[in-house]
Amino acid sequence: MSGASGKPDIFNTDQGSQFTGAAFTGALAENGITISMDGKGAWRDNVFVERLWRSVKYEEVYLRAYDNVSEARASIGRYLDFYNQRRPHSSLDGITPDQAYFNPLPLRLAA
């Protein structure tokens, strides 16, 4: 990304019609943004991100009534900290994403 609040260098999407139309792709091209599209039917490419956004929606966004964008940003930020640092994940054998990412795997001794 070009900067914390700047335009992205690359925009990745699926091949949905809303992303393949000339108006959308033209706006990206006019702003010097590279377009990256997942292969047709490649739902697996986004399965982890889709699962994250499902959690964000059902465990945070749908439970709150934000008064403004700043409040939404702060509250979702707190949720993402919780999600990564304190929420155990069954797909990670009950550890958090931060534990899985930052803690080295144990060394296996040769038999």
Q: Model confidence over 40-91: pLDDT tens digits?
A: 655 566 677 788 889 999 999 999 999 999 999 999 999 999 999 999 999 8
Domain assignment present for 25: yes
35 and 74 part of one domain:
no
Q: What is the pLDDT, as a whole number, of residue 1?
A: 42
Same domain, 26 and 72: no
20 located within any domain: yes
pLDDT digits (tens, 9 = 90+) for 1-38: 444 557 888 877 766 666 677 888 888 888 888 887 76
Q: What is the pTM of this model?
A: 0.57
pLDDT of residue 85: 95
> Domain total for the chain?
2
* Structural domain boundaries, residue 28: 10-41
CA distances from 102 to 9, 55, 85, 105, 109 (A): 27, 22, 11, 9, 21
**Structural domain includes residue 1:** no
Q: Please indicate, yes or no, whether residues 54 and 18 belong to a single structural domain of this protein.
A: no
